[in-house]
Amino acid sequence: MKKNIHLMGLRDDIPEIIAAADIFTLPSYREGLPRSIIEAMAMGKPIIATDIRGCREEVVEGMNGLLCKVKDAKALADSLEVLIINEEKTKNFGIQSRRIFLEEFEEQKVLNRQLNIFNEFRKGKLDV
């Protein structure tokens, strides 16, 4: 299995790399709202990420991916193994990632939600 893991360093061809990947993994220990997960979801990828704020808002455990404990290499490896050996789950997670992206994170929808908040604030209907 080790021969299938590639540490690729700094790249400028991320869309092509994500398209070629079977599983998107983000084992961060601190994040905001990771755009990389949203990009992977847009491309219909199953996600494995650490169970931290930001990632939890994008990855629904057991629906479009798996969340594992922070700084726990074994938990990350176990999550990867679950998806590597279960092609059907991997496929379904990818389908759900795309659906969630379209419903929640598609750019125009996000912009419209932000504009609505700004307009409500401007009209005095929201307090800061």
> Which residues 6+ apart lie within 8 Å of 114 measured at CB?
none
Range of the domain at 112: 2-122
Residue 24, beta-bridge partner list? 47
Task: Tell me whether residue 127 is in a domain.
Answer: no
Residue 24: how many CB atoms within 10 A of its CB? 24
Residue 9, beta-bridge partner list? none
- Tokens coding 37: 């997960």
Give the distance, in angstroms, between the CA of residue 7 and the centroid of all CA atoms in the same chain: 19
Find the CATH number of the domain harbouring 26: 3.40.50.2000
Q: Is the pLDDT of residue 86 over 60?
A: yes
18-76 residue pLDDT tens = 999 999 999 999 999 999 999 999 999 999 999 999 999 999 999 999 999 999 999 99
Task: Tell me whether residue 128 is in a domain.
Answer: no
pLDDT at 14: 87
> Could you give the number of structural domains in the chain?
1
- Tokens coding 74: 């074994």
CA distance 19 to 78: 23
- Write down the mean pLDDT value for the chain: 92
Q: What percent of the chain has pLDDT over 90?
A: 78
**Collapsed DSSP state (helix, strand, coil) of residue 23:** coil
Contact between residue 80 and residue 23 where contact means Cβ atoms under 8 Å apart: yes
Contact between residue 28 and residue 55 where contact means Cβ atoms under 8 Å apart: yes
Q: Is the pLDDT of residue 9 over 60?
A: yes
Sequence-ordered alpha helix ranges (H) in the chain: 14-20, 35-42, 55-58, 73-85, 87-100, 107-122
